[in-house]
Amino acid sequence: MFTQTPPIDNAYVALGSNLGDRAGNLLLAVRGMMAAGLNITRLSAIYETEPVGDLAQPSFLNMVAELGGEYLAQPEELLKALLQIEKSLGRTREVPHGPRTVDLDLLIYRNEVRYSETLTLPHPRLHERRFVLEPLAELCPQLVHPRLHRTIGQLLNDTADNSAVKRWQP
């Protein structure tokens, strides 16, 4: 029997920082999102996470923001706003997967599945990253991934990523 995925009315954005005042950078990113007119309906806790990959760099602070409300910007507009916020907070892209003041990734936008030159929805590696799945599962463990048709809780439970992710205690 075919079961239809329930509609998702929200978008989810991952926030991360591992340079400078990491918590301050996350706060500034949240404020930047609000100043850009994005309606943040919920925020996860902040998690301290080890960097992914072989590049030596400081630990990250990560969290997820849920965006919603009556008006939700189109994905391309949302991405443009997120990139502008990154730039305003000093984000540079000199070293792939390198240290950064702030990183804002559009994870899920409603039930949309898109593949374009500038935007892939849902985020192509979200299901492989514990540092994204932990805070996302905190907000919405029953949310169904639009492409994989599994809940975020199931994806977290089954991820092969064993990197350290723990709630941050300031």
List the catalytic residues.
91, 100, 103, 105
Q: Which two tokens stand for residue 163?
A: 């990197």
**Residue found under tokens 């391309």:** 76
Instruction: Go through 10-22 and write b for each residue having 16 or more CB atoms within 10 A of its CB, e for each that does not.
Output: bbbbbbbbbbeeb
CA–CA separation, 165 and 170 (whole Å)? 15
* E strand or H helix that includes residue 50: none
